Amino acid sequence: MASLHQFIPSIFLFIFIIKGNSLPKYPPPSFSCGDGVNFAYPFWQRSQKPNHFGYTSLGVTCINKTPTIQLDNNHLYRVKSVNNSENSFVVSFYELGDTTCPVAPHDVVINRSSFLTYSNNVKLVNFFYNCTVYPSGVEPIKCLQVGARHSYVFLDGSVPKFDWKTNCDSLVTIPMSIESSITTDFGKGMKQGFELKWSTSVECASCEASSGLCVYDNEQMFSCSCGKGGRYANCHERGLVSSKFKWGLLSIGLLICCVIIGVTILYIVKKRKDGSYKRGFNRLPTGGK
Ligand SMILES: *[C@@H]1O[C@H](CO)[C@@H](O)[C@H](O)[C@H]1NC(C)=O
Ligand SMILES: *[C@@H]1O[C@H](CO)[C@@H](O)[C@H](O)[C@H]1NC(C)=O
Ligand SMILES: *[C@@H]1O[C@H](CO)[C@@H](O)[C@H](O)[C@H]1NC(C)=O
C-alpha cells in the first residue's frame, strides 16, 4: 500500500491550495479601531491576512484603539483621519508623547515613486538638535534648551547657512501640514501630523476602472474581485488570471490523483484475482492422470 501513502500528502497539498486561495467576503466591510476614525477600501485590517481587499501598504493595525500604519522603513504612524473622497489621510508619529515640546523621533522619507505623495499643504521642516556652536541672530527653540545646547527649526529652503552637521547632535527632516509660525508652533504641528494622498496602484487601475476591487494574497499576488466568486484581471474582460493558472494546476493534480488511485485499485484487484487464481489452481488436484 505504499502508493496510498504517496498520494495522501498531495491531497492535503491541494486542500491547502484551495483554502489559501479563498476570497475574502465581498464587499469588504469598513472598520475602525474604536477612536472614531473609519477605514474603508483600499485600507484593510492587518489581522485579516492572508487574503485581503485593499492595497498592501495600507494595512492598518489597531493598538489599544489607535489605528496605526507602517510607512517609510516600516516606521509606525498613527492615522488621525481619512478622507476617502479626496483619497487622503493624515498621520503623525506614533511615538509622540503628550508633551508640548516634542522631539521628532526620525526622518520621514516617503518614496516619491510610490503611490503615496504629500498633499499640497505639506511643508518639509528641518530640526537641528543639541547644537553646541550656533549662528548669531537665530532664534533657538526655547523649550528644548539644555544648558548650552540649543536646538533649531527651519522650513526647508530657509535654513541659514551654517555648518549644522558638525555643530549639532542630530539633524531630522519631517513633513508637516502647518500654516502658523514654525518656531513657536512646531509642537502643535508635529502632533497634527501631515497629509498623504494615495493614487490607484498601477496593477489595480484596470480592475478599479471596471468597478472591481483589488485583492492581494500572502505572496502579494494581485487579482480583481468583481463581487461574485472568481479572480480576474478586471471586471470587463473577466479573463481569469492567477486563478486560471492555479485551477489548471489543481485539475492536473486531481487528474494525476485519480490516475494513481485508479491504477492502485486496478493493481490490487488484479493482484487479488491473480492470487485467488493461483490459490484456486493450487487447490486443483495436481496430476489428472
Ligand atoms: C473630505 O474632503 C472634502 C473636501 O475637502 C470635504 O468636503 C469633506 O467634508 C471631507 N470628508 C471627510 C469625511 O472629512
Ligand atoms: C520606491 O518605490 C519603487 C516602486 O514601488 C520601488 O521600486 C523602489 O525600490 C522604492 N525605493 C525605495 C528607496 O524604497
Ligand atoms: C540633547 O541633549 C540632552 C542632554 O544630553 C539629552 O537629554 C537630549 O535627549 C538630547 N536631545 C536630542 C534631541 O538629541
pLDDT at 287: 45
Q: 202 C-alpha to center of ligand 2: Å?
A: 14
Expressed in percent and rounded to 5, the helix, strand and coil fractions of the chain are 35, 25, 40
Q: What is the DSSP letter of 50?
A: S
Q: How far is CA 63 from CA 60, 69, 95, in A?
A: 10, 10, 12
Atom of ligand 1 nearest to the CA of 81: 14
Cell representation of residue 199: 493614487
Chain-centre distance for alpha carbon 209: 22
Top mutation candidate among 30, 82, 86, 197 for ligand 1, by most atoms within 8 Å of CB: 86
Q: Which ligand approaches the C-alpha of residue 110 most closely?
A: 2
Residue 232: CB atoms within 10 A of its CB come to 22
CA of 3 to the centre of ligand 3 (A): 70
Q: Which helix (H) or strand (E) holds 273?
A: helix 242-283
List Cβ neighbours of 270 (8 Å cut-off, separation of 6 or more). Answer: none
Name the pLDDT band for 113 (thresholds 50, 70, 90).
low
- Say if residue 106's pLDDT is above 70: yes
In angstroms, the Cα distances linking 188 to 94, 121, 167 are 15, 16, 27
- Nearest residue by C-alpha to atom 8 in ligand 3: 130
Structure confidence at residue 81 (pLDDT): 97
Question: Whole-prediction pTM value?
Answer: 0.74
Evaluate if residue 135 carries a pLDDT over 70: yes
C-alpha cell at 222: 494581485
Residue recorded with cell 540649543? 150
Query: Could you tell me the pLDDT band of residue 243, with boundaries at 50, 70 and 90?
Result: very low
Percentage with pLDDT > 90 across the chain = 46
Residue 131 Cα to ligand 3 middle (Å): 10
Ligand nearest to the CA of 37: 1
Closest CA to 143 of 174, 187, 188, 180: 187
For the CA atoms of 107, 68, 80, 87, what is the dihedral angle to 10 degrees?
90
Q: How far is the CA of 250 from the centre of ligand 3 (A)?
A: 60
Q: At what angle do helices 2-20 and 242-283 cross, to 10 degrees?
A: 160
Q: Give the residue among 192, 191, 197, 157 at the shortest CA–CA distance from 173.
A: 157
pLDDT, residue 271, reads 77
Percent pLDDT > 70 in the chain is: 78
86 pLDDT higher than 50: yes
| CA of 117, nearest ligand number | 2
Segments of 166-229 assigned E as strands:
168-176, 194-198, 213-216, 222-225
Task: Fill in the DSSP letter of residue 160.
Answer: P
100 contact partners, CB below 8 Å, separation of at least 6:
143, 187
Confidence of residue 97 (pLDDT cuts 50, 70, 90): confident
Q: Is the pLDDT of residue 184 over 90?
A: no
Task: Give residue 68 CA to ligand 1 midpoint distance, Å.
Answer: 21
Burial of 214 (0-12, 13-18, 19+ CB in 10 A): buried
